[in-house]
Structure 1
């Protein structure tokens, strides 16, 4: 293990996963040498499945982030292999990350797969606890190939796009939660997402004068105050275009940078068909702070809000 300080502590775990690996890792966590939220870089040909699952549970317990990667080699090293391999037990450990970065470059990850209805009970229970769809790792859905290791079970070697599509990687973001409500004749829309940097929310409340738009970038009280103090302008963003810009329009409320706007009802069709939306604060040096959501996957919820808001405002006119 190598610990180096970047924005988050970086931990490199490499070599076969033996039965005692979870205990060694847990002792380092208990001693404070490995911090909650650390980046865990894996490079292992596999080993004990039971130990790999136990490591994954420790990763999730500590809200840790998993990647594939190798430590920086010594300057005097004559041979440099920067490719990482994570197979079998290592792949199970990888799935324990709260945030999981997909493979890139020449790194390779191999997930054990089983025929439908034949996944071992401890493995199935672990995947359920980690909110991983068991169907993503069945032999038929994963596009498996024969394993190169000692196990006779097939292994699915997936690229980054496949990992994201199957929910095995999230690249630092949890799923976007979209909620449409209709209470007391007033439609509302709420979009929430947590990522590596904090929690973020966009909400709309339909009114005859326009949709009340409020955004929350929950990143901690100190950082929120710092960003607001440096603000030149703030704006809502729709499909990567500045919308409703305003000078000194952001406020720091508790742990969040908050924006309030009135979104014109005439622009609701653009909202319903949006691909992305976000909220940003730009400072005097041109640096911007904020977040963005990809919303194509929640199009039905956007449309429901648009239709209900349009109908409600027509009834009030």
Structure 2
């Protein structure tokens, strides 16, 4: 179930969790679930107090310092002990370290379907003040690539890649690095020229560069398309898996009719709960409430929350050329909002082919 946290909830989390993670701070004896800060090695701070789990559902794990050769073993032991469960949030802040260990951490993140972010560890009010800016470069960036879902940095946080001249001093062979990137589905091709020619120690990347090239996916796997272009009823199915589940949109055209059907696969119990609390259901085009559903228009079918709406065939161009399409159920206020949105630019060519197929199978009036 998708729920957007209110600013009040985030503020409360920050206040209360700081107290819950007090024992993890520098200068305070750390529990068995945390590795305290030590020069020359990676520190691990585990925040799994009740308030954190109530809001985020999974622990928040901060890895900071230097990625040393033994860091993957320490992290893996915490996973094996059940302290870092599948799907945990991993926050990284390291600007140097062992590249082989960074890749090993990345493989552990991917195996556990974990989510990578940049972020600095939480500190108690009594701890020494440190910068709130997170930096992730070298071995850290390769660990970051292991996240199944990877959030682009925000604010002043920075992530960067080591150029080839700096990589040459690292232990792994280039073939090993290339194999790791392929395994993680990461393509550094758009930065090949810069990495090959830069004399800077780090090539820093912007959030836009990360998201436009797929190095960051902001908790979404790529949108996929399946098209049936033959008459009498061509259809296109858009699917996307994100951290919250599986979402689908089906568009079908027939002579004089165009239908849009959404499926939000949240599970049977969650679908019924959303319907109970929801007061408004709609298909969204370009982030505007466009196709409002009548009462009862949204239904719970098997494990999905689904809605179907007829769309004017003459407006198919507006629909298929949209930047975004989504499906949402809102409550009495925006603090309860469940649904999904698809960014359509990556599948634009498929949608153009579908437009042509619809025109051939079911031409619409041009007046």
Q: Structure 1, unaligned stretches of length 5 or more?
A: 148-154
TM-score, scaled relative to structure 2:
0.78
Q: Could you list the per-position Cα deviations for residues 249-268 of structure 1 after superposition, in whole angstroms to 9, with x for gaps in the alignment?
A: 11122332111222221221
Whole-angstrom distance in 1 between the partners of 2:197 and 2:240: 30
Whole-angstrom distance in 2 between the partners of 1:143 and 1:295: 34
Report if the CA contact (8 A) 1:271-1:302 is conserved.
no
Q: Could you list the per-position Cα deviations for residues 45-68 of structure 1 after superposition, in whole angstroms to 9, with x for gaps in the alignment?
A: 221111110100000010101111
Report if the CA contact (8 A) 1:66-1:101 is conserved.
yes
* Residue of structure 1 in register with 2:278 after alignment: 231
Whole-angstrom distance in 1 between the partners of 2:117 and 2:94: 12
Match status 1:310 vs 2:359: yes
Whole-angstrom distance in 2 between the partners of 1:267 and 1:36: 44
Structure having the higher helix fraction is: 2
**1:231 Cα deviation from its structure 2 partner:** 2.6
**1:139 Cα deviation from its structure 2 partner:** 4.6
Report if the CA contact (8 A) 2:316-2:355 is conserved.
yes
Map residues 15-26 of structure 1 onto 2, 5 A cutoff. Answer: 15-26=65-76
User: In structure 1, which of residues 252, 275, 292 is the aligned counterpart of residue 323 of structure 2?
Assistant: 275
Match status 1:33 vs 2:80: no
Q: Could you list the per-position Cα deviations for residues 264-313 of structure 1 after superposition, in whole angstroms to 9, with x for gaps in the alignment?
A: 21221211221111111122445332111121332222222222112211
Q: Could you list the per-position Cα deviations for residues 169-216 of structure 1 after superposition, in whole angstroms to 9, with x for gaps in the alignment?
A: 111122222333224543111111122211111111222241232111
Match status 1:205 vs 2:286: no
User: In structure 1, which of residues 281, 294, 305 is the aligned counterpart of residue 343 of structure 2?
Assistant: 294
* Residue of structure 1 in register with 2:227 after alignment: 180
User: In structure 2, which of residues 289, 294, 304 is the aligned counterpart of residue 256 of structure 1?
Assistant: 304
Whole-angstrom distance in 2 between the partners of 1:279 and 1:141: 41
Report if the CA contact (8 A) 1:231-1:248 is conserved.
no
**1:141 Cα deviation from its structure 2 partner:** 5.8
Map residues 114-129 of structure 1 onto 2, 5 A cutoff. Answer: 114=164, 120-129=174-183
Structure having the higher strand fraction is: 1
Distance 1:301 1:227, change over 3 A: same
Higher alpha-carbon deviation: 66-75 or 136-145 = 136-145
Report if the CA contact (8 A) 2:195-2:203 is conserved.
no
Q: Could you list the per-position Cα deviations for residues 22-47 of structure 1 after superposition, in whole angstroms to 9, with x for gaps in the alignment?
A: 11111111111001111100111221
Report if the CA contact (8 A) 1:113-1:137 is conserved.
no
**CA-atom RMSD, angstroms?**
2.1
3-state secondary structure, aligned to 1:157: strand
* Residue of structure 1 in register with 2:46 after alignment: 3
Q: Structure 2, unaligned stretches of length 5 or more?
A: 1-43
Q: Could you list the per-position Cα deviations for residues 84-127 of structure 1 after superposition, in whole angstroms to 9, with x for gaps in the alignment?
A: 12121111101000111112222222212338xx9701100000
Higher alpha-carbon deviation: 132-141 or 96-105 = 132-141
TM-score, scaled relative to structure 1:
0.89
**1:78 Cα deviation from its structure 2 partner:** 4.7
Report if the CA contact (8 A) 1:192-1:202 is conserved.
yes
